[in-house]
Amino acid sequence: MNIVVTGGAGFIGANFVYYMLKQRPADKIICFDKLTYAGNMATLDKAMTKEKFKFIRGDIADRRAVDKLFRDEKPDIIVNFAAESHVDRSIEDPELFLRTNILGTSVLLDACRKYGIDRYHQVSTDEVYGDLPLDRPDLFFTETTPLHTSSPYSASKASADLLVQAYSRTYKIPVTISRCSNNYGPFHFPEKLIPLMIINALHDKKLPVYGKGENVRDWLYVKDHCSAINLVLTKGKAGEVYNIGGHNERRNIDVVKIILKELGKPESLIEHVEDRKGHDRRYAIDPTKIRNDLGWEPETKFEDGIKQTIQWYLEHKDWWENIISGEYQNYYDKMYGNR
Ligand code: NAD
Ligand code: DAU
């Protein structure tokens, strides 16, 4: 099979490329990525040596480029990871999120209509459900929870989901959607909570915790997300939505303290800064459907995954030093300078 992975030079997409090269050695994996600030060819170094892997630079919102992709590569499966993914950036400047996340999705779907596809899979997020109150630990997001978004990022992802469902119903395109909770692991871009805190702590820099740090995220090791998507591709039913999560809820402040403890750094590095606008309080996935229908279980416990992740950052300084020494520095100064 020819499997196109859009956004495969980013955090989860690249982990998925490596997962698929290992799990499905007979299939050809084609990464289609615009290489925005979040895309990184260094991440794909090892994949580039594999015969079954091909990289194509391109924009999912560019119709001509996507048309060429379909004509040249004749994909059987599309897995769409490509997105602008950072909530804080979407609050600063929403427009690019609409172009890539919404228009880009519709361009891919139009190509599926024109050329045909065995499966179009949309990598969505639990953020489309909005948030849950902190004092109701009994509540979880299920696949039937209404979409109710908070940030321009989550609104753009929810819009894309609606388009995917509309194309499924109207044009009978065989689609699936997965909505996963927060991922962590290797190749996570330094702007996101866990890598940002690891890298700042290593530099004895302040750790900027938004507000009181009481917001809760439901963390999943990235490889478990990859195994879930592969299972949805092989066993999932067209037209269905699958939530992905491992019941691992943590307050941000507790995650930050674990990182400091692992690195032997003092809690005095923590600095409470101005809260994120519209900050979602709690995410929590109910993964009953994917567990019962497809038999998916996560393998990595947070206690192990966070240690492995910290170790990975310690062993791959070149990877992240390259990132933080470039344009990222301007972003950091702009985002945290006046907070
Ligand atoms: P990321 O920002 O690390 O990577 C995004 C990738 O998409 C980059 O390689 C970038 O170059 C590429 N890209 C951006 N715009 C593009 C365009 N117009 N055309 C082609 N490529 C483009 O993101 P991530 O954290 O790996 O997230 C991947 C997907 O998973 C996203 O759709 C995101 O919404 C979803 N998701 C992320 C998480 C998480 O915790 N990170 C959780 C659930 C769902
Ligand atoms: O839930 C899935 C989503 O998880 C994905 O759809 C998004 O693409 C992904 O970026 C992630 O969104 P979050 O906003 O939850 O992740 P982020 O790492 O930006 O923030 C996690 C929490 O940490 C959030 O409550 C905000 C807080 N935070 C974040 C940063 C960057 C801080 O307190 N300080 C920070 O500097």
Amino acid 327: pLDDT: 84
Residue 339: is its pLDDT beyond 90?
A: no
Average pLDDT over residues 51-73: 98
Per-residue pLDDT band for 1 (boundaries 50, 70, 90) equals: very high
Residue pLDDT, tens place only, 83-97 = 999 999 999 999 999
Q: Tell me the β-bridge partners of 122.
A: 80, 177
Residue by residue, DSSP assigns 274-324 as: PPPTT---B--B--HHHHHHH-------HHHHHHHHHHHHHH-HHHHHHHH
Ligand at minimal distance from the CA of 281 is 2
- Asked if 318 is an active-site residue, the reply is no
Average pLDDT over residues 65-81: 98
Q: How much is the pTM?
A: 0.98
Residues present in the chain in total = 339
Amino acid 273: pLDDT: 98
- Asked if 27 is an active-site residue, the reply is no
Question: How far is it, in rounded angstroms, from Cα 42 to Cα 220?
Answer: 24
Residue pLDDT, tens place only, 213-233 = 999 999 999 999 999 999 999
Amino acid 102: pLDDT: 98
Q: Tell me the β-bridge partners of 251.
A: 216
Residue pLDDT, tens place only, 182-213 = 999 999 999 999 999 999 999 999 999 999 99
Q: Catalytic residue among 18, 129, 153, 210, which?
A: 153
User: Does residue 151 line the site of ligand 2, with CB under 6 A?
Assistant: no
Question: How far is it, in rounded angstroms, from Cα 97 to Cα 153?
Answer: 6
